[in-house]
Amino acid sequence: MLCAFAYTCALLAQNNEVSLYSAWLRHDSIVRPTSTKVETVSAGMLSLAQRVAQTPIGRLSLELPILWTDGKFAASSRPILGRSAKTVFITPGLRLTHPCTSRISLIATAGLGLVATSEKVSIERPNQTITADGRRSGIAGSFGGGIDVRATRRFSFRFEVRDFVTRKGSTLYRRHNVAPMLGIAFHF
């Protein structure tokens, strides 16, 4: 009985993975009511996954991706001195990993969850600087794909592109927040 329990735990332990990514989001800041300025915001993402099934086309996993940004933006026009924003996307979902060779796999992901944004804006007024804070949250989804290249049995390198989709006005970012990402994964 104890041997069966140890064997089951060993099998489950080989179905987990932790990934850490460096990402970039495109940000549109409003310069005037009729035009926008495009800026790129760096981001990071942590992803935890647990394999739940082996299908004929690949491995199906439950995934919990957490993407965060901490952007500081230059002043877009007077009287705005500067802006900063922190955003977190948490979109649990599914990941399908299709092995092409023993070292290369294709990845497809989809999920639904939440987004939360905190913004700080500094505005210049005669003889004073006013700082305003704002917070927003809402529903967000994500979908994307990429490639996983195994370096060893336990480590792999990844390139993924994900679109974090929000409803209009729920974040400082666009409705479609396309994020190209480079990462490393630890499989255990």
Domains of the chain in start order, with CATH, are 2-187 (2.40.160.20)
Both tokens assigned to 104 = 């290369």
- Write down the pLDDT at residue 170: 56
Distance CA 115, CA 169 (A): 11
Distance CA 168, CA 67 (A): 19
3-state secondary structure of 181: strand
Distance CA 140, CA 161 (A): 16
- Write down the pLDDT at residue 134: 80
- Write down the pLDDT at residue 30: 47
Both tokens assigned to 85 = 């924003």
Distance CA 31, CA 40 (A): 15
pTM attached to this predicted model? 0.79
For 57, phi then psi, to 5°, come to: -100, -5
- Write down the pLDDT at residue 31: 45
- Write down the pLDDT at residue 90: 95
Average pLDDT, consecutive stretches of 10 residues, N- to C-terminus, the chain (188 residues): 52 77 72 54 92 93 93 62 80 96 96 88 76 83 96 96 80 72 95
152: β partners: none
